[in-house]
Amino acid sequence: MIKNNIKYLAILALGLIACEPEFDNPIDESGIYKSGEADFSNFIALGNSLTAGFADGALYITGQENSFPNILSKQFSLAGGGEFTQPLMADNVGGFAGATEAFPPRLVLAFGEDGSPSPERFTGSSPSTDFSSLGASFSNMGVPGAKSYHLVAEGYGNPAGLQVSPPASNPYFVRFASSANATVLGDAVAQNPTFFTLWIGNNDILSYATSGGVGMDHNITGELNPMNYGPNDITNNMTFAGVYSQLVNGLIANGSKGVLLNLPSVTSLPFFTTVPFAPLSPLNQDFAEQIPALNQTFAGLNAAFTALGVPERAIQFSTTSASPVVIKDESLVDITANLTTAITPAFGPLAPIIAAQYGQARQATAEDLLVLTSSGIIGQPDTDRVTELINLGVPAELAGQLSVKGVSLPLEDQFVLIPAEQTAIENARTAYNATISALAAANGLALYDVASDLNQAANGGIPYNGGIVTSQFVTGGGFSLDGVHPTPRAHAIVTNGIIGAVESTYGASLPSVNPADFGTITVSNEVN
């Protein structure tokens, strides 16, 4: 009887187990997803801020968690991928403790009392991350700010380099460099990656672009040695090709497979496309009231421009439609001397001062790109310039009139990418991308044409199930509040692009991600 009971209990227990639902083809059982010729067991990501998950002007934990390498590693984990580690920051504030000047907290979208949104620095709590080392051997080796040649530069992670001004090393790499003399490439290779992503070279043109082209273009100077480069310069194409080749050769030396990502156009980035060239609207009451006086002042200058054979430099503000800002175009011939002579009858002793202000000035055209940071200063008085002019003997009222940024005071080089600068950037990008494509083909590596996808985001948008991602600042969903770095949703799109490249190159079969499941920007009114 007892025996029977035990038997029945056993049958009952089996019955309970049999009642558990089970899929015909469970995804966690091997067979559905495949790595193909690739081996995802030790995946290392090399690159810059894009690889690191930098967003909203800072590196912070949730940005890192939503970096494309981290998202990708989760998909890889269903096809033989292993653990993926990241040098996580200490908080979701971003920035470095005690160094907020150079590394400020993240941007959040704050709403004013009138409901108007604006990106502001988060002040809800202070940055708590310091420069101390977390140890080496992280899978995500993206170093914000890194240019191509930085990945092979010894000492780029040397803590001592942070003590000098300007810093000789990068605090993000200091946090996970294996030694003071370590290179990013060396530390990556030391981990024996079986698979890698490499997305580098953006900053070789981007820092020049975001600084409005104040740096040097070494494709013109011919300088090949990065030791002689400034932070905002364009890297010489040959230098880039040499470094990139060194990176690829280093990574594939032990048979690793990988994906190379090319470089998107800066015109894909809202940082360069958000502020219109003609933002001065007569609908703005303050500005509209000044238009007659401004036009009267500029009439004398415009006559001089015509007399000097440069009528295209005439400055005129419309009372019916938005007018272009006034910029300084350093590619124009400086006509200060002749202009001084021409306007002396009208302005007397002030002529040299005024002529100097407009010696290379013109109104912007649709060909010019204003950087995002110009939006906060256009139409604002430059108090330093007012003081300067008063000290030069200009009456206070006129000094004020002549010091309105982008209206009477031409915007400086750093706020505008003029066509010549855009051409320099685009030429370098084209050459870099040719190098990347050639090295991908030569080494049998996968290539993801992310430039093409970002171009689509900027021109119509990338649809997904439930919406569309565009490059529109704040609302488009593709770019974080710094206007340069992608949102988690854009990282998801990049992940899918990489997966597509990996599948076609290596015969892998991987699940994609749904961009709808990834966020965009963060709202918060915890700002000062």
Partner 1 sequence: MRKLLLLILFVSVTLVTYAGGYRVSVQGQRAMAMGHTGVAVVNSAELVFFNPAGLVYLENKLNVSVGVSGIFTDVIFQNEDLGISAETDNSIGTPLNIYASYMVNDWMALGLGVYTPYGSEVTWPTDWAGSQLVNNIDLSSIYIQPVVSFKLSEYFSIGGGPIFVVGNVEFNRNAGRTTTDINGNRSNVTIEDSGVTNWGWSVGAMFNPTENFHVGFSYRSEIIIESEDGEATFSNFPNSPNAPQNGTDGFVAELPLPAELTVGLSYEYKKWLFAFDYNRQYWDVYESLDINFNNPRNPDSSNPRNYKNSSVYRFGVQYQATEKIALRAGYYRDETPVQPGFFAPETPRNDSDGFSGGLSFAVTPKLAIDASFFYLRFEEVDASYDFGTNPTTGAREPFGGTYKSSAFAPGIGLTYKM
Q: How far is the CB of 291 from partner 1 (least distance, A)?
A: 35
**Angle, helices 285-307/336-347, rounded to nearest 10 degrees:** 110
Q: How far is the CB of 443 from partner 1 (least distance, A)?
A: 28
Sequence-distant (≥ 6) Cβ neighbours of residue 116 within 8 angstroms: none
131 belongs to the binding site for partner 1 (CB under 8 A) = no
512 belongs to the binding site for partner 1 (CB under 8 A) = yes
467 belongs to the binding site for partner 1 (CB under 8 A) = yes
Q: How far is the CB of 123 from partner 1 (least distance, A)?
A: 11
CA 188 vs CA 151, 152, 240, 251: distances in Å:
10, 11, 19, 8
CA 482 vs CA 213, 222, 450: distances in Å:
18, 32, 19
For residue 316 the two structure tokens come to 């005129």
For residue 30 the two structure tokens come to 């091997």
- Selected range binding partner 1 among 102-110, 198-206, 234-242, 288-296, rule: CB under 8 A: 102-110
Q: What's the rounded Cα separation, in Å, for the pair 220 and 236? A: 8
**Angle, helices 202-210/419-443, rounded to nearest 10 degrees:** 170
Q: How far is the CB of 126 from partner 1 (least distance, A)?
A: 13
Q: What's the rounded Cα separation, in Å, for the pair 186 and 184? A: 5
156 belongs to the binding site for partner 1 (CB under 8 A) = no
Q: How far is the CB of 465 from partner 1 (least distance, A)?
A: 6
Q: What's the rounded Cα separation, in Å, for the pair 213 and 229? A: 14
Question: Would you call 424 helix, strand, or coil by DSSP?
Answer: helix
Cβ-contact 213, 426 below 8 angstroms: no
13 belongs to the binding site for partner 1 (CB under 8 A) = no
388 belongs to the binding site for partner 1 (CB under 8 A) = no
- Selected range binding partner 1 among 17-25, 201-209, 236-244, 302-310, rule: CB under 8 A: 17-25
Cβ-contact 201, 436 below 8 angstroms: yes
Cβ-contact 466, 497 below 8 angstroms: no
Pairing of strands 446-448, 257-261: parallel
Nearest residue (CB) to partner 1, 20 versus 384: 20
Q: How far is the CB of 467 from partner 1 (least distance, A)?
A: 6
The one among 40, 68, 84, 122 contacting partner 1 by CB under 8 A: 122
The one among 34, 36, 42, 65 contacting partner 1 by CB under 8 A: 65
The one among 24, 101, 286, 397 contacting partner 1 by CB under 8 A: 24
List the interface residues with partner 1, window 397-436 (CB under 8 A): none
196 belongs to the binding site for partner 1 (CB under 8 A) = no
The one among 1, 3, 21, 391 contacting partner 1 by CB under 8 A: 21
Q: How far is the CB of 383 from partner 1 (least distance, A)?
A: 32
463 belongs to the binding site for partner 1 (CB under 8 A) = no
Q: How far is the CB of 292 from partner 1 (least distance, A)?
A: 39
Nearest residue (CB) to partner 1, 66 versus 290: 66
Q: What's the rounded Cα separation, in Å, for the pair 235 and 244? A: 12
SS3 per residue for 104-140: CCCEEEEECCCCCEEEEECCCCCCCCCCCCCCCCCCE
Contact track, partner 1, 326-365, x by CB under 8 A: ----------------------------------------
Q: How far is the CB of 50 from partner 1 (least distance, A)?
A: 20
Q: How far is the CB of 447 from partner 1 (least distance, A)?
A: 24
35 belongs to the binding site for partner 1 (CB under 8 A) = no
466 belongs to the binding site for partner 1 (CB under 8 A) = yes
Residue with tokens 């940082």: 271
- Selected range binding partner 1 among 191-199, 382-390, 435-443, 461-469, rule: CB under 8 A: 461-469
Nearest residue (CB) to partner 1, 301 versus 513: 513
Cβ-contact 12, 4 below 8 angstroms: no
Going by C-alpha positions, the residue among 368, 43, 336 that lies closest to residue 188 is 43
For residue 407 the two structure tokens come to 């209206």
Nearest residue (CB) to partner 1, 124 versus 507: 124
Nearest residue (CB) to partner 1, 438 versus 516: 516
Sequence-distant (≥ 6) Cβ neighbours of residue 131 within 8 angstroms: 96, 99, 159, 162, 171, 174, 175
The one among 6, 10, 27, 442 contacting partner 1 by CB under 8 A: 27
Sequence-distant (≥ 6) Cβ neighbours of residue 267 within 8 angstroms: 273, 369, 422, 458
22 belongs to the binding site for partner 1 (CB under 8 A) = yes
Q: How far is the CB of 455 from partner 1 (least distance, A)?
A: 24
Residue 440: CB atoms within 10 A of its CB come to 22
The one among 98, 124, 292, 349 contacting partner 1 by CB under 8 A: 124
The one among 3, 4, 5, 19 contacting partner 1 by CB under 8 A: 19
26 belongs to the binding site for partner 1 (CB under 8 A) = yes
Residue 455: CB atoms within 10 A of its CB come to 16
The one among 49, 75, 129, 235 contacting partner 1 by CB under 8 A: 75
Question: Would you call 377 helix, strand, or coil by DSSP?
Answer: coil
Query: Which residues of this chain interact with partner 1, rule CB under 8 A?
Result: 15-16, 19-28, 32-33, 61-62, 65, 74-75, 78, 92, 108-111, 115, 117, 122, 124, 465-467, 488-489, 510-514, 516-520, 522-526
